Structure 1
Amino acid sequence: MAPPRTSLLARAAIVDTLSRGLQKAWDRGWLPPIVLEPDILWARAAKGHNSRDESSGRSEKDAADFRERLDALCASLNREAQLTPLGRAAAHGLLTRAIGQRLALGKLWREKPELLTTEIAPPILVVGQMRSGTTRIHRLLAADPAHSATRFCDSWNPLPETFDLRPLRSMAALFVGRRLNPWLETIHPFGAARPDEELGWLAAAFDHCAYEVQWHIPAFVAFSEARDPAPLYREFARILCADAAHRGNAGRPRIMKVPQFSEDLATLLAQFPDARLVVSRRSDADTLRSAVSLVANQMAMQSDHADLERITQECRRKIALRADRMEKALAGFAGAVAEVDFEALGADWLAETERIYDALGLPLSDQAIAAMRREQDQASKGAHHAHQSQLAQITRH
């Protein structure tokens, strides 16, 4: 059970202990200090890779986009993020892993180019604001055996493995994450092999969505928001092809969701023009409250300078930006769209699910409903139900 969360910026004592230990090790020369510079990170991550792995399966434009995003992200981290020693260590790990995965995927596509021609069934995209109920909708639809979904372990470890140890590695990562952040599960229900969002695929291409919730990097966010996201979603589609071929589920519609989809919906639909959409709706006030809680929790883990007012202003701006971009994209989309209300889904999930299937022109089988009931039962026991009581308690104090 998670300890009381007395503040939105609360963090576990072990976080400070580890940061002090790292700083001491650097000061005394026991460990080399962490340097977040693109060339150094690239050299470290590229060991054992062929120079062709950077561009294999990718256009020159897509390869250049990745490098430019890395440069901009490192500059923003060094100038703006004010990370603790533990935060710098976490950033180093995330960036080198993303570079290494990028090169490993390039090697895979160089050796097996046929993966990139895998025919994918038209996907079902769950679109909506962060904290608007997209996870619940995603997992309900993913429970249907007629569909496929991305596992958490595949999202953050996209390179297919013949002897698949990714669930075990993700279990270990989640164990560490829960020790460092005892409120992690109350904010989002995780499971190493459970269906989860493809956030890791966008993070691996250096989109801003995974990083803006944990670091104060406004320059990089502005850079990325103003940039054409098409290279990101071309890489996303390549990873999807490899994942579907490896898992043998390319013929079943993939249920996919990342809150970033709402911001990039026009580009996403250009990449997947035959997609069906499920749009999640929740009041802006409730969405903002929950989003601020998530971002504050993440930023407090890695910086001593997390500012609640600044986080609130940025979350409010982000909600408005995503709403504007999403509505413009929806206005020009002629495909199937189902709208889902957060409160209605909570009141009667089965009735809302039946309405989704009807709007999308999909059959809802008894087998699917039974699987969804099992998902609902599992979800009802999750720690994330404590999040609302956490927020209420913090507000009272």
Structure 2
Amino acid sequence: MSDSVSASASENLNDRTQTRSRFSIPFFVFVLPVALAALLYRLEPFDPVLLPVQLGRYTVPVPARNDHVRAGSEAVAAGHVKGPEDLAFDAATRVFYTGCEDGWIKRVTLNDSGLDSAVENWVNTGGRPLGLAFNKNGELIVADARKGLLRVSSEKEIELLVDEFGGLKFRITDGVDIADDGTIYFTDASHKYPESESVFDILEGKPNARLFSYNPETKKTTLLAQDLYFANGVAVSADQQSVVFCETVLMRCNKYYVQGPKTGKIEKFCDVPGMPDNIHYDGEGHYLIAIFTALAPEMEVSFRYPFIRKVAAIVMKYIGNLFTPKNGGVVVVDLEGKPTAHYYDPKLSLTSAIKIGNHIYAGSISYPFVARFDIEKYPAIPTV
């Protein structure tokens, strides 16, 4: 009897031991990663904050829309440009310039068909050229993310104009445009993060950007606005009274008055259906605003909750990219900031757009070519 009880007890003990062993390994495998992730979260210094506005996947009312603009599009300078971010067009020579991720500013000569007939390595800044604009002397002014504000002569001589203000280096010299009086307006998208880590500035949600002017005669740099949310593209208004600049994080463009009774004041110019990059005036009463990406559902949730953005930043820092641009394109607005047309596509991501004839030429940091859209053959269709 005692032997039977003893044997039974031994069997039960063995069963419990086996049960514990069966569950102990999976439990350990589960708990350890969670514990390590929690520790990593606490130790990670990245500290995102609430945004001043609640972002959402709202639709900006537009009277005309083409939601598959990639249909019929063409690739210009394919394979000769790497991440062509911005475009500057010289109508007299039918040449446009674009800055690439390898530091080269390329010259692309358009033939009669509007496609590329020649692509030239024009000059290498040794940095990452972003915004481009011609001054009245035909020199190219370059907002180089890594080098600062540059001037490149027709003889390809590079001159640094300015790369810091108030003891803070420009970390992402970004958009640039030039007024009729020669004043250069430009943005520093972040004084905290370099261009290679720009996504962390966006995820952090803090106003690290600034808007400046530079007087080439006096060589004086003036701070026009600070505490901006990734200030990006810049365009001087047609009447020279104001400067329009984009705030990528807040999905809007603002107007800064440089002349007249409102000098020094900032007003919202327009909301856009996504994250704006460069903005260009087309000379015909419209601005073309490039949209890098619309706000996808996962991005909307992350912008609502800072702790999710911190988790996303950790994953991107140690594993890889989480977000894929979607529904990028071009929004066309009038001089009052009212949208007139929207060209976009689910699989499109753009950083600049200019109008040449009946086509929109668009740059993107994501592509090895400049995209060309025939907006006469493939127009935006009225929505009402």
Compute the TM-score of the two structures, normalised by the length of structure 1.
Answer: 0.25
Please state which structure has a larger fraction of its residues in strand. Answer: 2
Which structure exhibits the higher relative contact order, with contacts defined as CA atoms closer than 8 Å and separated by 6 or more residues? Answer: 1
